Amino acid sequence: MSEADNPFLNVHQVAELLHLNEKKIYQLASDGVIPATKITGKWLFPRRLVEHWILESCHHGVLADRLMITGSDDPLLAAMVMRLNQQQRGQAFYGYSVTGTQLGLELLSQGRADVCAIHWGRAEESELRHPALIRGHQGYRHWTMVRLFRRSQGLIIRSEDRHLSLSPRGLSQGVSQGLSGASRRWVMRQEGAGSQRFLKEWLASQQLRLEQLNCNAIAYSEREVASMIARHEADIGPGTLSAANEFGLGFIPVSEEAFDLVTPRNVYFRSLLRQLFDYMDSAAGLALAQSLGGYSLEECGKLLWRGDAVQHD
């Protein structure tokens, strides 16, 4: 294999490419600034990602006429993206591809997305949980985290099971009466999704395990869970009040969770991202959130965390 065909570069090759000394390349790699991996003590740099990183550095956020969002699914965010694209009338583009929280962060760390939407547990624990999750990904020191909203998380159920959602006490009684039984068909989320994390924690609080449930299917978004239940392919699954309302289903509220956006600092100042927050704060955005149900927008746009402010060893 010739050097040109090798998908990886070494320190010397990157130093020549960037016209920097090798000591500086080692520093950039150690700080997580440049895409790199360390194998048996040797730094390797994926050629394609280094080239993308160079382009990104040229104008402080590649392709400022588009904003690519990945990570967690949410009906309100999806509805906003559709409306913002109509407002742009072809002058710019918002893309939203749902992957789940953990895969979304990985795509963000690879430079394949501009923004990652995340949720990882109860709202009151998010100030600790979300940064801890983010710090597991390369390049986090150059990221910021911003609050989009809080939302009601729980269990989406068939409309005929609405009587189970009367109270936390009714919820516990519903479990004992058969939510974990073989006749109750569950739809799960994929591993790495915030809703699957929620489900595992809720089950633990009910002294139950995933293995005890009759898992009927795997869904890859909030609305796919609701859609399967609406089509009578499943009876119950984790999700949000807004997803349940969208399909006319019942909902058992369990907790409020924080739904945050993670983005590199240069993207944080991009006008398209600012327009997303402005729309959320507008009368139209507030009305949209109210119509879907289960949202709290008081902290929308609040800068919560910066990777460069974290104390490092």
Q: For the segment 138-178, what is each residue's pLDDT rounded down to a tens digit?
A: 889 889 999 999 999 999 999 988 876 444 444 444 444 45
Between 91-95, 116-120, 160-164, 256-260, the lowest mean confidence (pLDDT) is in 160-164
pLDDT, the chain, mean: 88
Contacts with 242 (C-beta within 8 Å, 6 or more apart), sequence order: 74, 75, 76, 151, 152, 222, 292, 293, 294, 295
* pLDDT band, residue 58 (cuts 50/70/90): low
Q: What is the pLDDT of residue 62?
A: 47
Between 25-34, 61-70, 215-224, 241-250, the lowest mean confidence (pLDDT) is in 61-70
In one letter, which amino acid is 63?
A: L
Q: Residue 112 corresponds to which tokens in the numbers above?
A: 């394949």
Q: Is the pLDDT of residue 313 over 50?
A: no
Neighbouring CB atoms inside 10 A of 304's CB total 17
Q: Is the pLDDT of residue 60 over 50?
A: no
Q: What is the pLDDT of residue 3?
A: 65
- Reduce the DSSP state of residue 286 to 3 states and report it: helix
Between 13-17, 52-56, 146-150, the lowest mean confidence (pLDDT) is in 52-56
Output phi, psi for 8, to 5 deg. -120, 145
Q: What is the pLDDT of residue 302?
A: 94
* pLDDT band, residue 56 (cuts 50/70/90): low
Q: Is the pLDDT of residue 104 over 70?
A: yes
* pLDDT band, residue 33 (cuts 50/70/90): confident
Q: In the predicted model, what is the mean pLDDT of residues 49-65?
A: 66
Q: What is the pLDDT of residue 182?
A: 62
Q: What is the pLDDT of residue 108?
A: 94
Output phi, psi for 34, to 5 deg. -105, 140
Rounded-to-integer distance, Cα 84 and Cα 210, Å: 39
Top-confidence residue, 37 or 78:
78
Q: What is the pLDDT of residue 236?
A: 94
Q: Residue 86 corresponds to which tokens in the numbers above?
A: 């109509």
263, 307 Cβ separation under 8 angstroms: no
Write the burial class of residue 32 (CB in 10 Å: 0-12 exposed, 13-18 middle, 19+ buried): middle
| Pairing of the two strands 115-118 and 214-219 | unpaired
Between 25-39, 68-82, 247-261, the lowest mean confidence (pLDDT) is in 25-39
Q: What is the pLDDT of residue 171?
A: 46
Q: Residue 250 corresponds to which tokens in the numbers above?
A: 């019942």
250, 165 Cβ separation under 8 angstroms: yes
Q: In the predicted model, what is the mean pLDDT of residues 38-53?
A: 86
Q: In the predicted model, what is the mean pLDDT of residues 273-284?
A: 94
69, 97 Cβ separation under 8 angstroms: yes
Q: Residue 22 corresponds to which tokens in the numbers above?
A: 């090798």
Q: What is the DSSP string of 68-79?
A: EEEES--HHHHH
